[in-house]
């Protein structure tokens, strides 16, 4: 499937679509309140992808302060809490673009690194994250409710350059 899409900030009226994408695409589901809390905490780093007049993907992040995952120091770091794209819209670069724009926004927010957790069996996502500069930092044993392990992957944002326009 080819087509145009736009990456933009989440708006409260997108909530039903984002909750649905989360339920359809991921086994870990969050309450509507959880999504809204992250939107209100920092609206610039909760993004959605829009195509064919509807929301087809999202990337929900937050900023944290704590021990760096890259060096022995405290750091302001971004955390990709949840990202998903509807099956019919995969392969168009939407997931990659959601990550690129999110990474840039997190860096603009003063974070020096970005981390996420990904199922060890999710090879397409792992490959995408590697192409974006993430490295597996450790394995979180039994991270998911079903007992599957997760890679905690980390990217250093210090060398990140501006990705350009937010539209395809």
Structural domain boundaries of the chain?
Answer: 6-156
User: What is the Cα 121 distance to its own chain's centre?
Assistant: 18
Percent of the residues in the chain that have a pLDDT greater than 90, as a whole number: 85
Q: What is the DSSP letter of 96?
A: H
Residue pair 21/57 in contact (Cβ under 8 Å)? The answer is: yes
Is 6-156 assigned to CATH 1.20.1050.90?
no
C-alpha to C-alpha distance for 101 and 125, rounded to whole angstroms: 16
Residue pair 78/114 in contact (Cβ under 8 Å)? The answer is: yes
Q: How confident is the model at residue 51 (pLDDT cuts 50, 70, 90)?
A: very high
Q: In Å, how far are 26, 104, 145 from 94, measured between CA atoms? A: 17, 15, 27
Q: How confident is the model at residue 68 (pLDDT cuts 50, 70, 90)?
A: confident
C-alpha to C-alpha distance for 45 and 167, rounded to whole angstroms: 16
Residue pair 66/102 in contact (Cβ under 8 Å)? The answer is: no
- The model's pLDDT over 74-111, given as tens digits with 9 standing for 90+, comes to 999 999 999 999 999 999 999 999 999 999 999 999 99
**For position 159, what pLDDT does the model report?**
79
Mean pLDDT of 117-138: 95
Q: Bridge-partner residues for 5, per DSSP? A: none
pTM, rounded to two decimals: 0.90
Query: Is pLDDT at 167 greater than 60 in this prediction?
Result: no
User: What is the Cα 23 distance to its own chain's centre?
Assistant: 16
């Amino acid at each position: 499937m080819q087509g145009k899409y736009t990456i933009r900030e989440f708006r409260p009226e997108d909530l039903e679509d984002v909750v649905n994408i989360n339920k359809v695409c991921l086994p870990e589901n969050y309450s509507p309140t959880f999504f809204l809390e992250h939107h209100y905490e920092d609206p610039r780093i909760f993004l959605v992808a829009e195509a064919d007049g509807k929301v087809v993907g999202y990337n929900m992040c937050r900023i944290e302060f704590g021990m760096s995952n890259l060096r022995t120091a405290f750091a302001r770091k971004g955390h990709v809490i949840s990202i998903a794209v509807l099956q019919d819209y995969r392969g168009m670069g939407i997931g990659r673009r959601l990550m690129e724009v999110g990474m840039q926004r997190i860096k603009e927010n003063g974070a020096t690194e970005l981390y996420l957790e990904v199922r060890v069996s999710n090879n397409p996502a792992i490959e995408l994250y590697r192409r974006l500069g993430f490295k597996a930092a450790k394995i979180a044993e039994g991270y998911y409710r079903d007992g599957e392990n997760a890679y905690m992957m980390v990217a250093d944002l210090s060398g990140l350059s501006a990705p350009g326009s937010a539209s395809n």
